[in-house]
Chain A
Amino acid sequence: MLDIKNLHAGIDGKEILKGLTLHVGVGEVHAIMGPNGSGKSTLANVLAGRPKYVATSGSVTYDGKDLLALPAEERAREGVFLAMQYPVEIPGVNNIYFLKAALNSIRKHQGLEELDAMEFLQLAREKMKLVELDEAFMNRSVNEGFSGGEKKRNEIFQMAVLDPKLAILDETDSGLDIDALRIVAEGVNALRSEKHSVLVITHYQRLLRYLVPDFVHVLADGKIVKSGGKELAEELEQKGYEWIEEEVAAAR
């Protein structure tokens, strides 16, 4: 599904990822954990194609394609979804209209028939229940006036509607109360299947209690320095990141 090899990438000429290698198989849930500044968000942004984030060497193969060669919209149409750390407010762009346009451009690309307004609404209503978003939100402008938690739930709602093959969650859990966290986790769990892969990027272990990953990786100074099963997350929660940083330093 996703094969990242020796990826070096950064922004404004500053290298942040320094040789990251990661393999995510179909149907797997991977968690990437790491201290602030380790390159977690850079990884998410490079994968989604955010402008200004530049890969200088290495490769990212997704579904057999060179992901880095595709513009952001092509990546989305190929099934990559990034749940943003800071979802932007877009006044004047209606939530439901926007999402229908997005879904149909993805469906069109994948050779599927576009949904009409009725079919789309039916789908949207069903997914809204999943994230416990009120229907009133749908007729507002994208994220405008939403609370932090509502924005994150809107991301998960969009993810549920767009049904991506690879979902990347960039600190979707930060700033959420326990109820919102549970809702986000349920949204991701509902997506979980043999066909969907998920990359959960997080600073804390909290979300991983509800969303049990198959693999946990620790990112430090732009590289994966340790990988393991779900128990690694618990260990990190108890011991913090310092012991890993010490281990890495000692190995140098």
Chain B
Amino acid sequence: MSSVLEERLIEPRHIDGEPDRVRRIRTQAAERFNALGWPTTRLEEWKYTSLASVAGIDWKTSQRLPDDKSYESPFGDKPVAELMFINGALYANRATLANEHPGIRIVPMREAMENESFAQHFSRYADYEKHALTALNTARWQDGAFIEIAPGTVVEGFIHIFYLGGAKDERLVSHYRNLIVAGRGSQITGVESFFGKGTYFTNTVTEVVAGDGAVVDHYKFENESVEAFHIGTVQIHQERSSSVTSRTIAIGGGLVRNEINVALTGEGASLSMEGLFVLSGKQHVDNHTVIDHVAPHCDSVELFKGILDENARGIFDGRIIVEPDAVKTSSRQTNRNLLLSETAVVDSKPSLEIHNDDVKCNHGSTIGQLDEEALFYLRARGIGEEDARNLLVYAFASEIVERMKIDVVRESVARALRQQGLGMRDEGGKR
């Protein structure tokens, strides 16, 4: 890695009317990034992923639109509210109707900075002291979504944050910053989806706060261009008896790092974390998850599945920490991987770090190939070899896909998988 690039310093970005606290945080974060530099593979947490290629590009910010005019949301008019961003800037705001509800507030981050919840929660959870890319994001974020659901409010349907990246002949970077605050006893489903064309860099941080008894479903659907760089952190903070489902689907992207960090800080909180990465070509996707059991009586179930073909490289590095006070913790972590070629590589590194005796935890990981017996079974019934393979690969993915509750999102993911040749041609794995 070029040392010159490592030493390239950044300045904080400031937005007009920014409150002092935000100003101060941005300045500190910039200093922090300049001190930390880009992470290198010498760091244990980055040992499988070199950022030399992304650090080596002189990224620009610009509000240019992509050239092909395909700005359509993949979910049509199905979301109850939608904010659409292109290359770091708000492009469309379809949240007006939802905002008529007194308990729902969905606005661009730029407009949320005076909000009380913003002041209370912004940058409280995502750690820019230790994580360079979070520091970079915190110093440089351009916009994003602020979603606040008042106590007791149930949002019917789902809220969509849609990001589109890339512009012809330019190397653009977008730093998105989101904050989702679900009040006590509220319920919300939020979907973030990333699409784009060509070479660009998305660096995104989403902080999610699930208040007492809140029910939060968070989906991240990363379907970036295969030439794109994507680094994203989803930082979830769970309070007492909250229930969170986090789903991370990575299908696109050339070099991708997905960090999902959850702190279970209130008694009786429960987490289901699911992930699916489906890679081919030279794609490289590094999934890095941390589930921190801080409070007693919490449970977490984590399942990540990887499907890797051609020369793809996948990583699952999942850590579960059970703190000394977190007695009666129940935690299960599973990573299963399917290798479809001899040149695809996956590294699976599940780990448990338990600091008290009164817990029920287990973890495991598998790496395997397609079941030849199953393949023969399908062929012996008249299904062609290629279709049979695709059907079996889709079947492996379906455990995650079929659990997605929102029809249009599930279908969109299934469609993206089909474009990668999975599932059968006529109607995919649909039942």
Task: List A residues at the B interface (Cβ < 8 Å).
Answer: 48-51, 71-73, 75-77, 81-82, 84, 87-88, 90-94, 97-99, 101-103, 105-106, 109, 139, 141-142, 158, 162
Contact = CB atoms under 8 A, between A and B. Distances in A.
Interface stretch (B100-108, B289-297, B382-390): B382-390
Give the size category of B's interface with A.
Answer: 20 to 34
A88 B383 contact: no
Contacts of B352: none
B377 A92 contact: no
A82 B387 CA distance: 20
Contacts of B424: 101
A158 B429 CA distance: 20
From A72, A158, A162, name the one whose CB has the most chain B CB atoms within 10 angstroms: A72
A98 B378 contact: yes
B394 A82 contact: no
A90 B382 contact: no
A82 B383 contact: no
Given A71-B379, A92-B396, A105-B387, 20 more contacts: A51-B372, A71-B385, A72-B379, A73-B380, A73-B385, A76-B382, A77-B382, A84-B377, A90-B378, A90-B395, A91-B399, A92-B398, A92-B429, A94-B429, A101-B387, A102-B383, A103-B382, A106-B382, A139-B431, A141-B395
B392 interface: yes
B200 to A, nearest CB: 34
A87 B373 CA distance: 9
A76 B431 contact: no
A93 B370 CA distance: 13
B379 A88 contact: no
B376 A50 contact: yes
Given A90-B392, A93-B391, A98-B391, A76 B381 contact: yes
A-B pairs with lowest CB-CB distance, top 6 = A92-B395, A76-B382, A102-B381, A72-B379, A106-B382, A92-B398
A90 to B, nearest CB: 5
A48 B377 CA distance: 10
Nearest to B375: A51
Contacts of B376: 50-51, 72
B43 to A, nearest CB: 37
From A75, A81, A94, name the one whose CB has the most chain B CB atoms within 10 angstroms: A94
Nearest to B386: A73
B368 to A, nearest CB: 13
A90 B375 CA distance: 9
Given A88-B371, A88-B374, A76 B392 contact: no
17 contacts: A51-B372, A72-B376, A73-B383, A76-B380, A77-B382, A81-B381, A82-B380, A84-B380, A91-B395, A93-B392, A94-B429, A98-B381, A101-B383, A101-B426, A102-B378, A109-B382, A158-B381
Nearest to A50: B376
A76 B387 CA distance: 15
A76 B383 CA distance: 8
Given A88-B371, A101-B424, A93 B395 contact: yes
A162 B374 contact: no
B58 to A, nearest CB: 45
Contacts of A71: 379, 385
B134 to A, nearest CB: 36
Contact of B381 (A94, A97, A109, A162): A162
Contacts of B395: 90-93, 141
Interface in B37-94: none
B372 to A, nearest CB: 7
B398 A87 contact: no
From A71, A75, A97, A158, name the one whose CB has the most chain B CB atoms within 10 angstroms: A97
A184 B11 CA distance: 76
Contacts of B383: 73, 98, 101-102, 105
From B371, B373, B430, name the one whose CB has the most chain A CB atoms within 10 angstroms: B373
A98 B371 CA distance: 16
Nearest to A93: B395
Given A73-B385, A98-B391, A90 B380 contact: no
Contacts of B430: 97
From B384, B387, B399, name the one whose CB has the most chain A CB atoms within 10 angstroms: B384
Contacts of A91: 395, 399
A91 B424 CA distance: 16
A34 to B, nearest CB: 22
Given A92-B399, A93-B391, A73 B372 contact: no
Contact of A90 (B377, B426, B431): B377
Interface in B384-431: 384-385, 387-388, 391-392, 394-399, 424, 426, 429-431
B404 to A, nearest CB: 14
Contact of B382 (A88, A94, A105): A105
Contact of A94 (B371, B378, B396, B431): B431
A76 B396 contact: no
A139 B426 CA distance: 19
Nearest to A77: B382
A158 B374 CA distance: 15
B423 to A, nearest CB: 10
Nearest to A87: B377
Contact of B431 (A97, A105, A142): A97
Nearest to B398: A92
Contacts of B426: 101
A90 B382 CA distance: 16
B64 to A, nearest CB: 42
Contacts of A162: 381-382
Contacts of B398: 92
Interface string B180-224: 000000000000000000000000000000000000000000000
B375 to A, nearest CB: 9
Contacts of A98: 378, 381, 383, 391
Nearest to A109: B382
A73 B431 contact: no
B382 A73 contact: yes
A49 B385 CA distance: 13
Contacts of A101: 383, 387, 391, 424, 426
